[in-house]
Homo-oligomer: A and B are copies of this chain.
Amino acid sequence: MNVSIIAGGAGFVGCNLLPLLAKEDRHLMVLDNLCRGREEYLDAARDAAPGRVHFVHVDLSDHAATLQAFESALKLGAIDEVWHLAANSDIPAGVMDANVDLRDTFMTTFSLLEAMKLYKVPALHFASSSAIYGDLGGVPLHEAIGPLLPISNYGAMKLASEALISAAAESYLERANLFRFPNVVGAPATHGVILDFINKLQTDPGRLDVLGDGTQQKAYLHVSDLVDAMMHIRAATHLPKIFPVNIGPVDDGVTVRFIAQSVIARVSPQAGIHFGTGNKGWVGDVPKFQYSVERLREAGWAPSRNSADAVRHAIDQIATQEGFAAGVTNG
């Protein structure tokens, strides 16, 4: 039986992906440092695939430890793919200290590629990011645009990872998908604007302070659509060996104001919203962008939810996760 390695698989995206992979007759080896992830997030996949979901607690920026984890996986069968979902997900922390993204976002890629080269693992599916594009000033972001000038160390180390994977694809990988994630929402939330807003309202149900003037607009994809898109691209056989592709909804997104109002409607309808000034939340944040998903559509995939629906569904899930009674959403 073949083995999939899922690096960072105990995190938000990983635990939504695992149940889909578990439907196949294969072993799933999750490698995670449990910095944001939790081992209990694997429970659903473990229930669905008894004896086929495995876990190693490992820091993937540590090359020797990564090789050891691959050795464990090899005892189960041939490793035919790696999903690389591991990264620092706290963008401001990475702007403050470049070592964070160097270690968690980039050196994880480096170590995984070295292991894949050594053990001849043919396919890599990489969680890249719209952050690689930087702030191109409102022009639609498609895969053939440049220059790529990321404005956060997170975006920089995602682009750096893409670059390294690209060189590896020329030299020894048989296939590499570079999935450029949009803003993704859903449960289990470990961070992000929706969870922040809900937590603020738990502290003060009467008032929600919002960073920036609320006009910042972004496209959001629900994580269920994200993992579906990745599985679709993985199954496609006619695509180039190295395939950078934007994943996102087809709409232009929703504003921070919309998210704030939707959160309030779900968890604390009596709260007032207090906006700041400017349309950048923090250094490294890109105010408004249009994300071109033409390439993904040409590859035959379309999302089931637009940004507004994705956000409302995620708000309902996260509110439930945080202890608010289910079923009172208006979304």
The interface of chain A, by Cβ under 8 A from chain B, is: 95, 98, 102, 106, 110, 113-114, 117, 132, 134, 143-153, 155-157, 159-160, 162-164, 166-167, 169-171, 242, 244, 283-284
Bound-complex Cα distance A149 to B162 (A): 8
Q: Is the CB of A95 within 8 A of B171?
A: yes
CA–CA, A106 to B157, complex, Å?
11
* Bound CA–CA A106/B155 (angstroms): 16
A282 to chain B, nearest CB (A): 11
Q: Are A110 and B102 in contact (CB under 8 A)?
A: yes
Whole-angstrom distance between the Cβ of A143 and the nearest chain B Cβ = 5
Distance in angstroms from A158 CB to nearest chain B CB is 8
Number of this chain's copies in the complex: 2
User: Which residues of chain B come closer than 8 Å to A147, judged between CB atoms?
Assistant: 143-144, 244
Tell me the bound Cα distance from A157 to B102 in angstroms: 13
Residues of chain B within 8 A of A163, CB atoms compared: 132, 148-150, 155-157, 159-160, 163
Q: How far is the CA of A22 from the CA of B58 in the complex (A)?
A: 51
Question: In the complex, are the beta carbons of A160 and B153 less than 8 A apart?
Answer: no
Per the bound structure, the CA–CA distance linking A20 and B284 in Å amounts to: 36
8 Å CB contact of A171 from B143, B242, B284: B284
Most buried by B among A110, A162, A167: A167
Inter-subunit contact B153/A167 (CB<8 Å): yes
Interface centre among A132, A150, A157, A284 (most CB of B within 10 A): A150
A66 to chain B, nearest CB (A): 13
Chain B proximity of A306: nearest CB distance (Å): 26
Known: A102-B110, A114-B98. A167 touches B146 (CB 8 A): no
- If A157-B163, A160-B164, A167-B156 touch, whether A146 touches B149 (CB-CB below 8 Å) is no
A114 to chain B, nearest CB (A): 6
CB of A309, distance to nearest CB on chain B (Å): 30
